Amino acid sequence: MLIAATLAIFVAMILAIIRGVIGPTLYDRILAVNMFGTKTVLLISLLGFVMGRPEFLDIAIVYALINFISVIGVLRYSDTNQFKHSPNDNESLKKEP
């Protein structure tokens, strides 16, 4: 069961990376990173149990905290004029072919 859950987390991570890459808006990327962060927390917790030494959950706590702080940071410092959403954002931010 643990393995299955780990795999599900992995799949979710892959999908989050795809969303982070294709965007298209700033907030989609932030959302993807945030979700990736929570998935990492889960992955770490699961890995502890899978590998048989679950006592290192401190790392998961740090991940959760850092994830929160960096999301706040992203919002704080994307809140400038340069990052304001503009109608042509959707086109210009698409990944170059």
Partner 1 sequence: MLMDLFNHWVVITLMMSGLYIVIAHGNLIKKIVGLSVFQTSVFIFYISMAKVDGGTAPILADDIVQYSNPLPHVLILTAIVVGIATTALGLSLVVRIKEAYGSIEEESIQQQDNQQQDNNAHAKRKQEEEA
Partner 2 sequence: MDMIITISSGFFLLIGSFLCFSGAIGLLRFPDFYTRMHAVGVTDTLGAGMILVGLMIISTDFLVFAKLAMVLLLTLLIGPTTSHVLAKAAFHNGLTPKSLSNQEKNNKEISSSNT
Partner 3 sequence: MIDIILLTLLVVVAIAIIRMKDLFAVVMLLGIYGLLSASFFVAMDAVDVAFTEAAVGAGISTLLMLVVIAMTGRKEKTNRHKPLPALCIVLITGGLLIYGTFDMPHFGAADAPIHQHVAPRYINDSMAEVGVPNIVTSVLASYRAFDTFGEVVVIFTAGIGVLTLLSVARRKEDAEKISSINDSMHEQHLVIRIVAKMLIPFIFLFALYVQFHGDFGPGGGFQAGVIFAAAIILYAMLFGLNTARKVINQTFIQLIAAVGVLLYGSVGIVSLMNDGNFFNYNVLASDPIAGQHLGILLIEWGVGCTVASVMMIIFFSFAGRLELHQHNERVKNQESS
Q: Which residues bind partner 2 (CB under 8 A)?
A: 1-2, 4-5, 7-9, 11-13, 15-16, 18-19, 25, 27-28, 30-32, 34-35, 38-39, 41-42, 45-46, 49, 54-55, 57-58, 60-61, 64-65, 67-68, 71-72, 75, 78-79, 83-87
- Determine, following the binding rule CB under 8 A, whether residue 52 of this chain makes contact with partner 1: yes
Residue (of 35, 28, 29) closest to 12 by Cα position? 35
- 52 binds, options partner 3, partner 1, partner 2, none, Cβ within 5 to 8 A by partner type: partner 1
Q: Which residue has the tokens 């048989």?
A: 52
The answer to whether the CB of 24 falls within 8 A of the CB of 69 is no
- Determine, following the binding rule CB under 8 A, whether residue 55 of this chain makes contact with partner 3: yes
AA letter at 59: I
Q: Which residue has the tokens 């990376």?
A: 17
The answer to whether the CB of 83 falls within 8 A of the CB of 26 is yes
Q: Give the shortest CB-1-to-partner 3 separation in angstroms.
A: 16
